[in-house]
Amino acid sequence: MLGQGDVRYLNLKATATVQVTDTEMRFDYRRMDGLESASPLGDPYQASRLDLAVLQQIPLMGKRLPADWRLLLAYQTLYRDPSGPAETPAAVLPERVRRLSGGVGVKF
């Protein structure tokens, strides 16, 4: 149970690697629950974020250059409680944002 003005955070992270294919998977979940202290009713507020990523080694590039080349595929979602307090209008901040992205990562 949260008291007025209290905030609770939850953060979960996990990483797994498949050695045979040199594939790495990452999972990151964050959540925030709180009660607004500026409101006389102590309005509840909630927001969460989920990040999933898959990184795959590019074997041909790694053998020719002294760097670690990986393909990246990532999915992110951000959720916020639309009834919660916000300094900007709700029309500007959507309730849920989803993003799928990809690219190439290089480590020297």
> In a structure prediction context, what are the per-residue pLDDT tens digits for the chain, which is 108 residues long?
555 567 888 999 999 999 998 899 999 999 988 876 655 555 677 889 999 999 998 877 655 677 888 899 999 999 987 665 555 555 566 788 999 999 998 888
Tokens read off for 29? 């979940």
**What is residue 87's predicted lDDT score, i.e. its pLDDT?**
54
pLDDT value at residue 8? 85
Nearest alpha carbon to residue 54 among 94, 2, 105, 11: 105
- Read off the pTM: 0.71
Are the C-beta atoms of residues 103 and 72 closer than 8 Å to each other?
yes
Best CA proximity match to 34, nearest among 42, 43, 18, 45: 45
Q: Which residues of 38-56 are buried (b: 16+ CB within 10 A; e: fewer)?
A: eeeebbebeebbbbebebb
34 CB neighbour count, 10 Å cutoff:
21
